[in-house]
């Protein structure tokens, strides 16, 4: 059953009741009226700052951007229509002008620049994050918000680029929301409105801590780290047994991303199984438990590493190094030049839609 109150629904998620908020209760007219006295300052113009900032602008909100003057992000913002002195400012100026200060800097930059931003986070303002990192790992970041301000989170479940693309297509990425500090008594209402304004399709509740734990586990696990490891392991076994690069890639990555994963996305795992051959079904049903049993201890180790701060500290330390970008490019180059992904480049080039 569905219980609906003013755009809020209580839904059954696999037997557990959860509240979700839909954008249908926040048409543009309501957004404009609710935030008519606010200036929304987006600090940072990385993936989330870029996606959220442009969506806010297209939704007719009073939004400004704050980045390091004349830096790479400043130049990108100018190229995308932000005007210096009008809606593009230094980080300090934007933080000062904003009544809603959206701290969308990188996790390391949030730590490094907190002493710069904090003086402008004055009573009555809303301090907004899209990641629970800085608040949850305050012993490492030293980000401790002052009293008298609302501290909220809206975390899109995807990249800023995806948030932007779906918005332009008239769709919406789902996002999680949380309230860490409610000075106004209206923090949840404000963050739901802001979540809709940045282009979310629907919003569900979490906490800062749970958001960052699930996010870091997901990125290191299924979403990025684990899937890369599993792809490599299967590809390497097939190649070691004499299969060609094209066959190994097609049976490992191409069929997954182009055929089977979209079926899971459309209607679930059982739907994907139901639409495969009986031989494939039998094999998957027989082997999935072995992979579960093999990976569960790794996921337990990963969650503990996230929870105890090991992962956050490593991230802060690594991302703060002067040669970080050069080091990152070296690591990405290793992936890019691995046989599996060089084979993939050729396979992708053979897709009919890429040969028009």
Residues belonging to the active site? 131
Q: What is the DSSP string of 171-221?
A: --EEEEEEEEE-SSS-HHHHHHHHHHHTTEEEEEE--HHHHHHHHHHHHHT
By DSSP bridging, strand 8-13 and strand 16-22 are antiparallel
Nearest-angstrom CA–CA distance, 355 and 236: 29
332-338 long-range Cβ contacts below 8 angstroms, 24+ apart: 335/228, 338/232
Please name which of 134, 172, 167 lies closest in space to residue 153, comparing C-alpha atoms: 134
How far is Cα 19 from Cα 205, in angstroms, rounded to an integer?
A: 7
φ/ψ (deg, to 5) at 51: -65, -50
- Which residue, 92, 60, 109, is CA-closest to 101? 92
The label of the residue with tokens 């002493």 reads 115
The answer to whether the CB of 92 falls within 8 A of the CB of 120 is yes
């Amino acid at each position: 059953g569905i219980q609906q109150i003013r755009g809020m629904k209580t839904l059954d998620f696999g037997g557990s009741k959860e509240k979700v908020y839909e954008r249908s209760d926040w048409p543009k007219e309501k957004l404009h009226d609710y935030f008519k006295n606010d200036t929304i300052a987006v600090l940072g113009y990385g993936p989330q700052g870029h996606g959220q900032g442009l969506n806010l602008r297209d939704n007719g909100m009073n939004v400004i951007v704050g980045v390091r003057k004349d830096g790479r992000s400043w130049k990108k913002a100018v190229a995308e229509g932000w005007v210096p002195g009008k809606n593009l400012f230094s980080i300090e100026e934007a933080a000062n002008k904003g009544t809603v200060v959206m701290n969308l800097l990188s996790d390391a930059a949030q730590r490094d620049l907190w002493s710069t931003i904090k003086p402008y986070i004055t009573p009555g303002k809303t301090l907004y994050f899209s990641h629970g990192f800085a608040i949850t790992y305050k012993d490492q970041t030293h980000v401790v918000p002052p009293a008298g301000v609302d501290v909220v989170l809206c975390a899109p479940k995807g990249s800023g680029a995806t948030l932007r693309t779906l918005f332009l297509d008239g769709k919406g990425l789902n996002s999680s929301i949380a309230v860490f500090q409610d000075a106004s008594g209206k923090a949840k209402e404000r963050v739901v409105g802001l979540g809709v304004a940045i282009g979310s399709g629907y919003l569900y509740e979490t906490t800062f801590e749970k958001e960052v734990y699930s996010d870091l586990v997901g990125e290191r696990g299924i979403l990025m780290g684990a899937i890369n490891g599993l792809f490599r392991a299967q590809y390497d076994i097939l190649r070691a047994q004499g299969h060609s690069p094209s066959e190994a890639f097609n049976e490992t990555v191409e069929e997954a991303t182009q055929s089977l994963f979209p079926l899971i996305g459309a209607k679930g795992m059982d739907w994907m199984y139901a639409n495969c051959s009986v031989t494939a079904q039998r094999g998957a049903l027989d082997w999935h438990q072995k992979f579960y049993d093999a990976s569960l201890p790794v996921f337990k180790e990963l969650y503990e590493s996230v929870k105890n701060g090991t992962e956050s500290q490593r991230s802060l330390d690594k991302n703060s190094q002067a040669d970080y970008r050069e080091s990152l490019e070296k690591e990405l180059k290793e992936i890019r030049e691995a046989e599996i992904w060089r084979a993939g480049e050729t396979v992708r080039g053979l897709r009919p839609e890429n040969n028009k």
